[in-house]
Structure 1
Amino acid sequence: MLMPAIDLDASMSAGAVLQRLALNGYWLDAAQDAARARIAAVAARVGRPVEEVAARLARDADDCGAAIRRQWGTHVLWYARELREVLVACSHAPPALPLLDVLNLHEPDSQPPIDIGAGAVVMRNGVTLLNGEPVSVSLRVAADAFVLPARAPSPADMALRGADPLAPATAGAARPTPTPTPMPTPVAPPAGPIKAWPRIEAPDAKAAGEVFEVIVGFGAQAQAQVSGAAVDLPFSAEMQALDLQVELSAGPGVQAPEGWSRPLRVTAADVATAQVSFKLVGLEPENPAQPFLTTLEVRYVLGGTVCGTASRALAIMPAAHGDRLDPRPLGQPWQAMPAAATPVALVADARVPDLTLDIGKPDRNAASGQYVCRLISPHALATATGPFDMDLGQDAKTFARSVVEEVRQYGNSALLATALESLGRLVAERLPGEFFQALAELSGRLAPEPVSLLIVSAEPYVPWELAWMDAPLDAARPSYLGAQTLAGRWLRDSAAPPLAANAAARPAAHPIASLQVRNMATMAAWYSAASGLRKLPKAEAEVEALSGSYPGVTLKATAEGMRDLLNATLQGKSGPVAVEAVHLAGHGDFDPTRPDGSAMFLQDGAPLRSTLFRAAKYGGERQPLLFLNACMLGIGGELLGDMAGFPGNSLRGGFGGVLGALWEVDDDVAHDIAIEFWRRALPAATEASDASDASAAPAEGEPVGAILRDLRARYAGTAGTPVPTFLSYVYYGHPRLTLRRAP
Structure 2
Amino acid sequence: MLKPAISFDADMTAGAAIERLAMNGFWVAADHPGVQPRLGLLASRAQLTIDQVSKTLARDAAGYGAAIRRQWGARVLWYVRELCEVLERCANAPPGEPLLDVLQLHETDASPTLPLETGRSTLLSNGVVMDDGKPVAVSLASGAPMPPPFISAAIPRSAADMTTRSAAEAPSSAAPSAPTEVPAWPRIDAPDYTLALLPFDVVVGFGAAPQVDVSGGQVVLRAAPGVSTVEVTVELSTDPGIQSRDGWSRTMTVNLSDVTAASARFTLVGQERMDAWHPLLTTLELRYLVGGTVCGTASRPIIILHSRDTLPPEQDARGDAWSAHATAVPMDLSADDQAPDLTIEISKPDRNAASGQYMCQLFSPHALVSERGPFPMDLGQDAKTFAGAIVEEVRLFAKSPLLDMTLEGIGRLVAQRLPAPVFQALREVATMVSPAVPAVLIVSAEPYVPWELAWIEPPLDPALPAYLGCQALLGRWLRDNDAAASAMDGSQAPRPSTHPIARLAVRHMAVMAAWYQASSGLRRLPMAEAEATTIVSEHGALALAATAQSMRQFLGASLENGFDRIGGVEAAHFAGHGDFDATRPDASTLFLGDGTPMRSNQFRAARYGGAQQPLLFLNACMLGIGGELLGDMGGFPGNSLRGGFGGVLGALWEIDDDVARDIALEFWRRALPPAPAKGEAVGVILRDLRSRFMAGAGALPVSTYLAYVYYGHPRLTLEHAS
Normalising by structure 2, report the TM-score: 0.92
Runs of 5+ in structure 2 lacking a partner? Answer: 147-159
How much does 1:409 deviate?
4.4
Alignment of 1:394-473 (within 5 A): 394-473=381-460
Alpha-carbon distance in structure 2 between the residues aligned to 1:407 and 1:45:
12
SS at match of 2:21: helix
How much does 1:381 deviate?
0.7
Kindly provide the amino acid, as one letter, of the partner of residue 321 in structure 1.
D
User: What residue number does 1:692 align with?
Assistant: none
User: What residue number does 1:248 align with?
Assistant: 236
User: What residue number does 2:82 align with?
Assistant: 82
Kindly provide the amino acid, as one letter, of the partner of residue 583 in structure 1.
H
User: What residue number does 1:487 align with?
Assistant: 474
Can you list the C-alpha shifts for 1:540-569, whole angstroms capped at 9, x where unaligned?
Answer: 222112111223310112222222211222
Is 2:638 the counterpart of 1:648? yes
Can you list the C-alpha shifts for 1:333-371, whole angstroms capped at 9, x where unaligned?
Answer: 21x453432222222111000000001000000100000
Runs of 5+ in structure 1 lacking a partner? Answer: 146-171, 686-697
Alpha-carbon distance in structure 2 between the residues aligned to 1:452 and 1:482:
10
Can you list the C-alpha shifts for 1:124-155, whole angstroms capped at 9, x where unaligned?
Answer: 75223344432321214479x9xxxxxxxxxx
Task: Work out the percentage of aligned pairs sharing the same amino acid.
Answer: 55
SS at match of 1:383: coil
Kindly provide the amino acid, as one letter, of the partner of residue 629 in structure 1.
N
Alignment of 1:111-150 (within 5 A): 126-141=127-142
Alpha-carbon distance in structure 2 between the residues aligned to 1:674 and 1:665:
12
Alpha-carbon distance in structure 2 between the residues aligned to 1:402 and 1:715:
21
- Is the contact made by 1:229 and 1:343 (CA closer than 8 Å) also made in structure 2? yes
- Is the contact made by 1:425 and 1:467 (CA closer than 8 Å) also made in structure 2? yes
Is 2:696 the counterpart of 1:718? yes
- Change beyond 3 A, Cα 1:398–1:445: same
- Change beyond 3 A, Cα 1:339–1:611: closer
Alpha-carbon distance in structure 2 between the residues aligned to 1:663 and 1:642:
12
How much does 1:393 deviate?
0.5
Is 2:554 the counterpart of 1:565? yes
- Change beyond 3 A, Cα 1:613–1:46: farther
SS at match of 1:176: coil
User: What residue number does 1:576 align with?
Assistant: 565
How much does 1:531 deviate?
3.2
Counterpart selection for 1:325 from 313, 316, 319: 313
How much does 1:535 deviate?
2.7
- Is the contact made by 2:80 and 2:138 (CA closer than 8 Å) also made in structure 1? yes
- Change beyond 3 A, Cα 1:495–1:134: farther
Kindly provide the amino acid, as one letter, of the partner of residue 314 in structure 1.
I
SS at match of 2:535: helix
Is 2:588 the counterpart of 1:609? no
- Is the contact made by 2:637 and 2:648 (CA closer than 8 Å) also made in structure 1? yes
User: What residue number does 2:527 align with?
Assistant: 538
Is 2:577 the counterpart of 1:587? yes
How much does 1:59 deviate?
1.4
Question: What is the RMSD computed on CA atoms of the aligned residues?
Answer: 2.5
Alignment of 1:547-696 (within 5 A): 547-577=536-566, 578-633=568-623, 643-685=633-675
SS at match of 1:329: coil
- Is the contact made by 2:683 and 2:715 (CA closer than 8 Å) also made in structure 1? yes
Can you list the C-alpha shifts for 1:479-525, whole angstroms capped at 9, x where unaligned?
Answer: 10000000000123145573242511111112000000112111222
Can you list the C-alpha shifts for 1:672-726, whole angstroms capped at 9, x where unaligned?
Answer: 21121111111112xxxxxxxxxxxx22111100110011111112335312111
- Change beyond 3 A, Cα 1:130–1:540: closer
- Is the contact made by 2:167 and 2:212 (CA closer than 8 Å) also made in structure 1? no
Alpha-carbon distance in structure 2 between the residues aligned to 1:83 and 1:112:
18
Kindly provide the amino acid, as one letter, of the partner of residue 99 in structure 1.
L
- Is the contact made by 1:196 and 1:231 (CA closer than 8 Å) also made in structure 2? yes
- Change beyond 3 A, Cα 1:494–1:418: farther
Alpha-carbon distance in structure 2 between the residues aligned to 1:529 and 1:203:
65
- Is the contact made by 2:125 and 2:139 (CA closer than 8 Å) also made in structure 1? no
SS at match of 2:572: strand
Can you list the C-alpha shifts for 1:633-662, whole angstroms capped at 9, x where unaligned?
Answer: 4689799x9922111111111111011111
Counterpart selection for 2:709 from 715, 730, 733: 730
Alpha-carbon distance in structure 1 between the residues aligned to 2:130 and 2:651:
30
SS at match of 2:230: strand
Alpha-carbon distance in structure 2 between the residues aligned to 1:38 and 1:637:
18
SS at match of 1:679: helix
Is 2:295 the counterpart of 1:316? no
Is 2:184 the counterpart of 1:199? no
Kindly provide the amino acid, as one letter, of the partner of residue 484 in structure 1.
Q
User: What residue number does 2:149 align with?
Assistant: none
Kindly provide the amino acid, as one letter, of the partner of residue 19 in structure 1.
E
- Is the contact made by 2:169 and 2:211 (CA closer than 8 Å) also made in structure 1? no
SS at match of 1:498: helix
Is 2:50 the counterpart of 1:50? yes
- Is the contact made by 1:631 and 1:662 (CA closer than 8 Å) also made in structure 2? no
Alpha-carbon distance in structure 2 between the residues aligned to 1:117 and 1:633:
23
User: What residue number does 1:741 align with?
Assistant: 720
Alpha-carbon distance in structure 2 between the residues aligned to 1:116 and 1:536:
34
Alpha-carbon distance in structure 1 between the residues aligned to 2:193 and 2:175:
38
SS at match of 1:400: helix
- Is the contact made by 2:8 and 2:69 (CA closer than 8 Å) also made in structure 1? yes
User: What residue number does 2:151 align with?
Assistant: none
Alpha-carbon distance in structure 1 between the residues aligned to 2:596 and 2:49:
34
Can you list the C-alpha shifts for 1:253-289, whole angstroms capped at 9, x where unaligned?
Answer: 1011211011122111111110101111110011121
SS at match of 2:693: helix
How much does 1:117 deviate?
11
How much does 1:111 deviate?
5.9
- Change beyond 3 A, Cα 1:48–1:535: farther
Alpha-carbon distance in structure 2 between the residues aligned to 1:490 and 1:187:
35
User: What residue number does 1:376 align with?
Assistant: 363
User: What residue number does 1:356 align with?
Assistant: 343
Alpha-carbon distance in structure 2 between the residues aligned to 1:541 and 1:289:
63
Larger of the two Rg values belongs to structure = 1
Is 2:485 the counterpart of 1:475? no
- Is the contact made by 1:123 and 1:129 (CA closer than 8 Å) also made in structure 2? no
Kindly provide the amino acid, as one letter, of the partner of residue 351 in structure 1.
Q
- Is the contact made by 1:47 and 1:413 (CA closer than 8 Å) also made in structure 2? no
User: What residue number does 1:498 align with?
Assistant: 485
- Change beyond 3 A, Cα 1:174–1:36: closer
User: What residue number does 2:150 align with?
Assistant: none
- Change beyond 3 A, Cα 1:644–1:485: same
Q: Count residues in correspondence.
A: 699
Alpha-carbon distance in structure 1 between the residues aligned to 2:513 and 2:259:
54
